[in-house]
Homo-oligomer: A and B are copies of this chain.
Amino acid sequence: MPADASGQPCAIRDVLDWIGDQWSLLVLATLAPGVKRFSQLEREIGDVSKQMLSKTLRRLEQDGFVAREVHAEVPPRVEYRLTPLGMSFLEPMRGLIRWAEANQAAIAAARRVAT
């Protein structure tokens, strides 16, 4: 297993576990502005199923990126927000998104040449 760009062999594969999952990134990006309820997340992400959104939220909760709060009301109000760990991930994620925006055209051009 080669030393990756930073000399650490397995850090890449660990990162890919989450980042490879587009729903995780979309949930994190949607929670970036602040606390949201399930229905808000569903509406804002748009083309995600209830099952996929629940599964993604549960996994992000287990990995420590998202916190879930149940307010004792009738019916109970459930809210999701980013934890400090989740918030800390936004910066490298934004770096990736900025790179993607800046280079989308170059990649599209390369793909046209290749086809």
Contacts and interface: CB of A to CB of B under 8 A. Distances in A.
A85 interface: yes
A46 B3 CA distance: 11
Given A30-B2, A85-B107, A103-B88, A97 B20 contact: no
Given A12-B25, A26-B12, A91-B99, A63 B107 contact: yes
A99 B15 CA distance: 9
Interface residues of A, number: 55
Interface of A: prevailing SS: helix
B111 A14 contact: no
Given A15-B96, A100-B11, A90 B2 contact: no
